[in-house]
Each structure stands twice: as C-alpha cells, then as structure tokens.
Chain A
Amino acid sequence: MAESPVWAVVALPLALAALAWAAAALDAVLGAASAGGTGSGPGPGLVRACGDPLHEAVRLLTQQRRRTLMADRPLTRIGVVVLPVAATLAAVVVPLGGRAVADLPVGVVWFNTMEVAVWGALWLTGWGADSAFPLAGGYRFLAQGMAYELPHMFVLITAALGAGSLDLGEIAAAQDGLWFAVWMPVAFAVYLVSALAMAFWGPLGHPLGGDLAGGAALELSGPDRLVFLAGRYLLLTVAAAVAVPLFLGGGAGPLLPAWAWTLVKTCAVLGALVWARRRFPAVRMERFMGIAWTVLIPATLLQMLVVGVVVLD
C-alpha cells in the first residue's frame, strides 16, 4: 500500500466529523419525521431538524457544568475524552481510496482494540460521576462485553481469513469481483448487529438506556456531554467505514474514483445503522445475551468454517 500524504492526517478527522454530524442530523430528521408525522415531503420541521445537532452542540458548549458530590473528575474526563480519541484512532487504518493514514499490517486487530478501549471509556464515565444510574449504565456494557465482543471478533477474523491478511487494504483488494458481503452473508449481518452493540446505539443502547434515565451519560453536562455524544457518533461512523473494506469491496466500483465509492458505501451503511435506532425496539439485555451465545456465536463459527474450507480449497 502506498504512503498516504501528510494532509490526510488532517483530512481524516474532518471527514469523520462531517460524517458523524450527518449521522446526528439524519437521526434528528428521522426523529422529527416519526414524531411530527408531516405526511408527504419534507416540512419545515424536518428542515429545522437538520440543524438540530449544531444547535445542540452550541447549547452544550455554553451550558454550565453540573457537578456531583465526590465525583472522580480525572477518571470521568479520561473516559469522556477516550471515546472520540479511540474512534478517531480506529479510523487511521481504514483505506480511503487504496491507502490508509497509518499503514499498519494488523489493521483489523487495531480497529478491534480501539473498540474495546470504548468499554473502558464508558465504564470510567459511568463510574466517575459517583451516581447510581451512571454506574449501572457503565457496568451494563461490561456485563455484555463478551456477548458483544465474541461474535464481533469472529466476524472480523472471518473476513481476514477470507483474504488471508489482517490488513484492511489487502482485505478490500481480495474482494476483486465478489464482495465478502455476498458470500459471507452471516458474517456481514452479525457485523452490523455487533457494530450497533459496540457503539451502544439503538436497540443495543442499554448503557445509555432510558430505563436508567440516560445511564452512563446521565450526569454529563456542558462540553463533557458534547464530547461524549460526538464520540458515540464518531464510533458509529468508524464502524460503518470499516464495514466497507471488510465486506463491501472497499473502493471498488465503476466510474467514480475509489475514495468516492468508499464514501458512498460508508454513508449507506451509516444511514442503515442510524435508521435502525428508530426502526427496532430495544432488545432486553438478558435476551441478547442468550441470542449472542446460542445463535450468533455458533452462526459465526459455522460461517468461519465455511470460509476456511473455501479458502483451503
């Protein structure tokens, strides 16, 4: 893989931030559409919803911080900041038009490591506030950790196995003509589910669940809350971006250049993930635990077996 230009180091976070903002705007629009029932065409409510994320960001930036008694402030800060930092670092191995910002030969493992760092970020955020609901929210993610991580890890390995490489660029290149999503449909489906879980989003958003009055993020206010929520959107964006080299052929496609195809595919996956939040109800935690261990893990192992046999052939 070719060395990436220096400006890419600046461009990557900017592109990520733009996509994350678009995801937040789409979520606001979907929310307004389902709440308002504007009928046909985008009404004024929907147009206003587009600006909602920006409006909210400015509101949070100017809001005064709320403090809890005996909070562990350094740990909270670390947790809040690690969230967007880990998401951005996870993105440095994503090939954009044939090249990634960091040419790491074990990109898949690096991506997974940064996702797991989010477990710690969430737990620290929940712990630091010294408040009951955030604490329970932080622990929720850890309690589900293995149920989220094992299927996720297995599908990542399956794609790597299909390409015979842990390098995201080489995995994308190995799908010449036939996308992994086509001949590894189970792995792709499980990836999308576990992407929701890793970004604690939508049906798997228990750590911030409404039944915990907002969970881990309950006591966050002002800029802290902005950084935390932006970090979650960045995480969702990165999960969508990595699905492209893993399963959707990377930048391959007719007419458009590679970077444009990567962007188009990322937007499509990101849109689907955001849409899933309004479309599917929250899955009960213990039910997901059961499904993960009895359905998802065996299914991903079988998928890996099939891919292994095909590759050996």
Chain B
Amino acid sequence: MQAFAFWVLAAAAAGSGAAVFVVDSMARATFSLLGSFLCVGAELLLIDLHYLGVLVMLMMIMEMLVMAVFMIMYMMNPAGLMPMSMVHNRRGALAISGTAFAALAAGAVLVPWPERRGAPPADPTRALGEAVMGPKMLVMMVIGIAILATMIATVVLATHRGRYDRPGSDARAEGGGGG
C-alpha cells in the first residue's frame, strides 16, 4: 500500500513538474510546480516525517503564491493569460537537462549506499527540534533575526507611501477621494 502510494505520488510529482514546461500560461505553470511540491510533501508524510511533510506543503504553498505575484509582474508577457511558453533555447536546454538528469540518476543508482545504523527516533519532530535548537542554536537565531529584519524592512519600505497619503498632497484632509 505504502509502496503503491509512493509510486503514484512520485509519478504525479514528476508529471506535474514536467507540466510546468508544457502549459501555456504563467499561472498554470506556477500551480503545476506547486502540485509537484505538494506530492513531495506527501512523500515525506509516507515515511512518518509528519512535521517536515506538512511544513513542506505549508511553505511551498506560500512560496509559490508569492512567486506567482512576482513572476507575473516581471514576465515579458504581462498577465500571462495569452499563450506563452516556459521553454527557451530548446536544444541547449534539452541537452543540459538531459545530461544533468542522467548524472543524478547514475549517482543514485551507482553510489554504494551505506547500511542503516540505529533506528528512527520515536518522535522525529522532537529530534529535529533538538538538532536544530541544540548544536545549531546560534546559526538559527542569527538567521531567524536576519529574516525577520529583512521582512520588516521590506514592509516598511513598501508601505512608506500608501495610496491614500501621498507626499505633497494632504489627501486625508481633502477627504472624499477614496476609491
């Protein structure tokens, strides 16, 4: 049952990953990629890594949505509803991706994998937390604060000037101009 679910999810992940380059709109490409990541998250659930699996889903949904905003904002064809293609330099791209796939697949098949030592912890979430917050505490704290500071700085810069309070014109006092 578990092996069956693994193969279904693996095929779905690879399939929707490939769909990214087949579909003809940026929105569809983004959500195909999201579908692929959700399948990977479900694979993690299969091996009882509940926290990591659900976290991958959570972060990937958020990430892909933010990415959808930026990809559509900066793409050469605004709105992306018109037919567009995610593929450029077809021949070169095919050669490069084919080689990369072959190298990675060969690595996975040819490398002598080590034998498993020890058993999985009773509570993988706790083990992960201890690993991250124990020996790597300093790194995590620094990264955490750096990320939070970046986010706050971005928001401060972005909301410096809202649509209702423009510099020079006291839109608030004039009133009635809201739209």
Contact = CB atoms under 8 A, between A and B. Distances in A.
B104 interface: no
A213 B51 CA distance: 41
B61 A119 contact: yes
B34 interface: yes
B27 interface: yes
A286 B156 CA distance: 12
A116 interface: yes
Interface in A175-221: 211
B68 interface: yes
Contact of A119 (B57, B62, B179): B62
A211 B178 CA distance: 10
7 contacts: A74-B28, A105-B50, A106-B54, A120-B34, A124-B27, A145-B65, A211-B179
Given A142-B66, A293-B152, A106 B51 contact: yes
B100 to A, nearest CB: 29
Interface stretch (A40-48, A54-62, A107-115): A107-115
Contact of A123 (B54, B68, B162): B68
Contacts of B62: 116, 119, 145, 149
Nearest to A301: B148
B69 interface: yes
The list of the 5 closest CB pairs from A to B, nearest first, reads A113-B58, A286-B162, A109-B54, A106-B50, A106-B51
B159 interface: yes
A289 interface: yes
A105 B125 contact: yes
A112 B27 contact: no
A104 B50 contact: yes
Interface residues of A, dominant DSSP: helix
B125 A166 contact: yes
Contacts of A120: 31, 34, 61, 64-65
Interface string A133-151: 0000001001001100100
* Chain B: interface size category: 20 to 34
A116 B61 contact: yes
A123 B58 contact: no
B105 interface: no
Given A72-B28, A105-B125, A145-B62, A289 B155 contact: yes
B56 to A, nearest CB: 9
Contacts of B66: 142, 145
Contacts of B155: 146, 289, 293
Interface in B88-114: none
Interface in B156-178: 159, 162-164
Which of A72, A113, A146 has its CB near the most chain B CB atoms (within 10 A)?
Answer: A113
Contacts of A142: 65-66, 68-69
B125 A106 contact: yes
A289 B57 contact: no
A130 to B, nearest CB: 6
Given A113-B61, A286-B164, A289-B159, 12 more contacts: A70-B81, A106-B50, A109-B54, A109-B55, A113-B58, A116-B61, A117-B61, A120-B34, A120-B61, A123-B65, A145-B66, A293-B152
Interface string B71-93: 00000000001000000000000
A285 to B, nearest CB: 9
Contacts of B163: 286
Nearest to A292: B155
Nearest to B28: A75
B25 interface: yes
A290 interface: yes
Contacts of A104: 50, 54
A123 B26 CA distance: 13
Nearest to B162: A286
Contacts of A112: 58
A127 B164 contact: no
B151 interface: yes
B69 to A, nearest CB: 6
Contacts of B51: 105-106, 109, 166
Interface in B20-64: 25, 27-28, 31, 34, 50-51, 54-55, 57-58, 61-62, 64
